[in-house]
Amino acid sequence: MRQAVVETGVALAGTVISVFGLIHALGFTRDSAYLPVAVMGLLTLLLVIWGVRSALTLRHDGGDSIRPAPGHVKRFFILLATSIVMIVAAPRLGFATTFLLFVPLSGMLLGYRKGKWLVVTAITFSLLIYLIFQVVLDRPLPPEMALRFFTGI
Amino acid sequence: MWDSILSALPLLFSPAVLLAMAGGTTIGVLIGALPGLSATMGIAVLIPLTFTMDPLVALGMMAGIYNGAMYGGAIPAILLRIPGTPAGIATVFDGHPMAQKGQGLEAMKIALTSSAIGGSVSALALLFLSPPLAAVALKFGPVEIFWLAIFGLAAISVLLSDAPIKGLISACLGLVIGMVGIDSMTGNERFTFNVMDLMGGIDILVLLTGLYAIPPALTLAQEAMLLSKTSIGSGGKTRSGIGWRRLVPTWCRASVIGVIVGIIPGTGGNIAAMLSWNEARRVAKDKSRFGKGAPEGVAAAECANNADNAASLIPALTLGIPGSSVSAVILGGLLVHGMLPGPDLFTRSAPVTYGFILAMLVTSIMLFVIGRLGARLFINVMYMPPLLLAPIIIALTTIGVYAINNSLFDVWLMLAFGVMGWGMERLKIPLAPAVLAVILGPVAESSLRRAMLIGRHEVSYLFSSTIAIVMVTIIVLTILVPIIRRLLTHYRGRPSKLAMASDPERARQRFEP
């Protein structure tokens, strides 16, 4: 795919959102509105210029082409998906417990195959996180399910 | 000034601060040694962890990470021909040929010594140039502060990107993000869309962590570069004897170049290193040695990129205008600890501010010791598998951001900013203007409002002082000169040295033998 195609698409989508933001900003009271209106107006203008320039590049010589390797795209989405699951799970299971599962699972799904290191890294990292945040910094974090499981506390 | 320095010394040499500086320097070198990770990312990840620390402990750690990462970038540059940080590009030119000749450890020693010297000179420049500049800035009224903020935004937006339009888009995005929440002057909601979590605005830490920590993690996972023992080697054992004395003139020139480049907003360590390497080659009697393993080439590049470090904080600390992404992140760190960047830092928070400046000096010296003691460890860190490192970075940022306000909304927001930042990097839209705009936007807006009140809503009041007119002229020049230069380059078909230095790929093609 051509970089200019992506840029034109992003600029177009950005312009639509920006116009929406401009209309929204026009509804603010006078004293609060002038900077948001000015910034959204400028942003809309810049996005239009960017979009036109990208479209012109596409028309002239097509511009640079981007061809991400299939593995790149796959690993990007795997990490993003496991991160989302981790964020959903963390308040319920506790952060250290979630990391105990998230780090090896993500590593394995991303293609890391040394099982021993996956387990050792996950346990060491989760322990460090627990020690730093719960013991040293004393941050009020959700209770750890692993701790309840192993100690019954 | 001397009183403030003396009052900062006991704080600086307390065990907690010393430990934080040593730890920060070590972590910094480790981060720099890992290709794909930078000082900006390291500081962004660790700021949430420093939230509950004393300000100087946190700032000492940041100073260590900053100085350490700049040197750390030289390790893969020398041994692997992969710059660990963008500032390590020029180090590749002579560092890697030295490693190929079996002089990798010698190249690392030169890089380490040069980094320590550059970092120390830069810290001294910060120490002695900042107070007079801050004294001048204290005399600024709302009009001057408004134009100063606009200058900072214009400079970094135009200079940081190949296409100024992309820099300006990034700045506008940052301004919008900075406006989210309740308007402190009128009490009206702006861009909150009735979401309760947005009423208080977007925490600068959430934005910083999202933009600077998540994209490198996603890129690490994507590219999954695995290194083997054979590709790294041990650094070599050949000893040719480093002529330290002949490197002194190179260090002097590189330090000056690094400090000057550092002060100019929108530039950075990569530009300083490239200009310094080019200058070392220009003045050399035998230019043909450069690119084939000349120790002066390594010294010039490494000394300059570290001399840029503290110098880039001069406009950030005195005027509140960060000149680079890493200084923007450090400003975020100051804000987290209740220190508002600007001339007031040198009066209201003088002991901590001077303590931080001295920490930049002390960590440069510590870097030399830690670098010598931990050379083998830092080489081995390059074996760390990125496929494990990426989820660890995500996990660390998640808990760090959650712990600030115990808010899961902040974590989602951070992830969203992370994906946005990753996309911006792919589209070659610089991230720094957005961060800078979040910091400078409210400053510009409140100054403009105060100026308009004083000037009874007459726009001409914004141009009423000589300083204001000078600043407006500089802003116009800052925006127009790069555009004119680019147009000329386009018609002539030959890029300028500065443009080449700011674009690693172009620089590599042009300079690398």
Q: How confident is the model at residue B499 (pLDDT cuts 50, 70, 90)?
A: low
Chain A residues inside the 8 Å CB shell of B423: 10
Asked if the Cβ–Cβ distance from B415 to A132 is below 8 Å, we say no
Contact in structure between B439 and B204 (CB atoms under 8 Å): yes
- Residue ranges per structural domain of chain A: 3-60, 70-151
Q: What is the mean pLDDT of chain B?
A: 82
- Beta bridge pairs of residue B244: none
Contact in structure between B243 and B295 (CB atoms under 8 Å): yes
Asked if the Cβ–Cβ distance from B52 to A137 is below 8 Å, we say yes
Asked if the Cβ–Cβ distance from A36 to B190 is below 8 Å, we say yes
CA–CA dist A87, A95 (Å, integer): 9
More confidently predicted of B240 and A58: A58
Tokens matching residue A48: 């239009």
Question: Which alpha helices (DSSP H) does A61-141 contain, by range?
Answer: 70-93, 95-110, 115-130
Q: Shortest Cα distance from A10 to chain B (angstroms)?
A: 9
Per-residue confidence (pLDDT) for residue A152, from 0 to 100:
67
Choose the closest CB to B179 out of A36, A50, A112: A36
Q: Shortest Cα distance from B222 to chain A (angstroms)?
A: 4
Say whether residue A20 is in contact with chain B using an 8 A CB cutoff: no
Which residue's entry shows tokens 């993500």?
A106
CA–CA dist B197, B467 (Å, integer): 41
Tokens matching residue B508: 């590599």
Where b means 16+ CB within 10 Å and e means fewer, A68-102 reads eeeeeebbbebbbebbeebbebbeebbbbbbbbbb
Please, which residues have CB within 8 angstroms of residue B62's CB and are 6 or more apart in sequence? B24, B43, B46, B47, B50, B330, B333
C-alpha closest to that of B94 among B358, B391, B292: B292
Choose the closest CB to B391 out of A87, A106, A114: A106
Backbone angles phi, psi at B443, to 5 degrees: -65, -45
Q: How many CB pairs under 8 A join A and B?
A: 149
CA–CA dist B282, B149 (Å, integer): 37
- Beta bridge pairs of residue B181: B190
Per-residue confidence (pLDDT) for residue B480, from 0 to 100:
82
Asked if the Cβ–Cβ distance from B395 to A133 is below 8 Å, we say no
Chain B residues inside the 8 Å CB shell of A53: 165
Per-residue pLDDT at B511 exceeds 50: no
Q: Is B182 helix (H, G, I), strand (E, B) or coil?
A: strand
CA–CA dist B74, B77 (Å, integer): 5
pLDDT digits (tens, 9 = 90+) for B343-401: 778 877 788 888 899 999 999 999 999 988 887 777 777 777 888 888 998 998 898 88
- Name the residue in chain A with its Cα closest to that of B388: A107
Please, which residues have CB within 8 angstroms of residue B427's CB and are 6 or more apart in sequence? A6, A7, A10, B166
- Name the residue in chain A with its Cα closest to that of B402: A141
Per-residue confidence (pLDDT) for residue B500, from 0 to 100:
53
pLDDT digits (tens, 9 = 90+) for B437-491: 888 888 888 888 888 888 887 888 888 888 889 889 988 888 888 778 777 776 7
- Beta bridge pairs of residue B182: B189
Say whether residue B420 is in contact with chain A using an 8 A CB cutoff: no
Contact in structure between B320 and B122 (CB atoms under 8 Å): no
What is the mean pLDDT of the segment spanning B220-247?
Answer: 64
What is the mean pLDDT of the segment spanning B32-58?
Answer: 80
The segments of chain A whose pLDDT lies below 70 read: 62-63, 152-153
Choose the closest CB to B224 out of A111, A121, A125: A111
Q: Shortest Cα distance from B5 to chain A (angstroms)?
A: 30
* Optimal mutation site among B394, B415, B449, interface A, most CBs of chain A within 10 A: B394
CA–CA dist B118, B307 (Å, integer): 4
Chain B residues inside the 8 Å CB shell of A47: 169
* Optimal mutation site among A79, A97, A113, A138, interface B, most CBs of chain B within 10 A: A79
For B183, half-sphere exposure in the C-beta direction (CA atoms, 13 angstrom radius) is 21
Distance of CA B7 to the CA centre of its chain: 28
Tokens matching residue B303: 């000394």
Choose the closest CB to B169 out of A50, A99, A125: A50
Q: How confident is the model at residue B170 (pLDDT cuts 50, 70, 90)?
A: very high
> What DSSP state is assigned to residue B497?
H
Say whether residue A59 is in contact with chain B using an 8 A CB cutoff: no
CA–CA dist B326, B62 (Å, integer): 10
Tokens matching residue A128: 């460090």
CA–CA dist B285, B272 (Å, integer): 22
pLDDT digits (tens, 9 = 90+) for B259-306: 888 887 766 677 888 888 888 888 888 878 888 888 888 999 999 988
Strands (E), B113-247: 181-182, 189-190
CA–CA dist B320, B436 (Å, integer): 10
Asked if the Cβ–Cβ distance from A32 to B188 is below 8 Å, we say yes
Asked if the Cβ–Cβ distance from A110 to B391 is below 8 Å, we say yes
Per-residue confidence (pLDDT) for residue B232, from 0 to 100:
52
Q: How far is CA B39 from CA A115, B185, B259, B459, in A?
A: 31, 36, 18, 42
Asked if the Cβ–Cβ distance from B399 to A133 is below 8 Å, we say yes
CA–CA dist B293, B291 (Å, integer): 6
Say whether residue B415 is in contact with chain A using an 8 A CB cutoff: yes
C-alpha closest to that of A47 among B431, B417, B165, B157: B165
Say whether residue B165 is in contact with chain A using an 8 A CB cutoff: yes
> What DSSP state is assigned to residue B342?
S
CA–CA dist B422, B438 (Å, integer): 18
Q: Could you report how far apart the first and last alpha carbons of chain A are, in Å?
A: 55
Choose the closest CB to B415 out of A7, A83, A121: A83
Per-residue confidence (pLDDT) for residue A51, from 0 to 100:
93
Please, which residues have CB within 8 angstroms of residue B455's CB and are 6 or more apart in sequence? B143, B461, B462, B464
Q: Shortest Cα distance from B239 to chain A (angstroms)?
A: 36
Give the total residue count for chain A: 153
Q: How confident is the model at residue B240 (pLDDT cuts 50, 70, 90)?
A: low
Choose the closest CB to A29 out of B186, B403, B406: B186
pLDDT digits (tens, 9 = 90+) for B122-169: 999 988 888 888 888 777 888 888 888 888 888 777 776 667 888 889
Say whether residue B222 is in contact with chain A using an 8 A CB cutoff: yes
What is the mean pLDDT of the segment spanning B324-337?
Answer: 82
Per-residue confidence (pLDDT) for residue B238, from 0 to 100:
52
pLDDT digits (tens, 9 = 90+) for B2-27: 777 888 788 888 899 999 999 999 98
Say whether residue B427 is in contact with chain A using an 8 A CB cutoff: yes
* Optimal mutation site among B169, B182, B404, interface A, most CBs of chain A within 10 A: B169
CA–CA dist B165, B479 (Å, integer): 10
Per-residue confidence (pLDDT) for residue B467, from 0 to 100:
86
Q: Could you report how far apart the first and last alpha carbons of chain B are, in Å?
A: 48
ipTM score for this prediction: 0.92
Per-residue pLDDT at B46 exceeds 50: yes
Q: Shortest Cα distance from A150 to chain B (angstroms)?
A: 22
What is the mean pLDDT of the segment spanning B168-176?
Answer: 92
Backbone angles phi, psi at A8, to 5 degrees: -65, -45
Asked if the Cβ–Cβ distance from A72 to B223 is below 8 Å, we say yes
C-alpha closest to that of B502 among B217, B219, B168, B156: B156
Say whether residue B452 is in contact with chain A using an 8 A CB cutoff: no
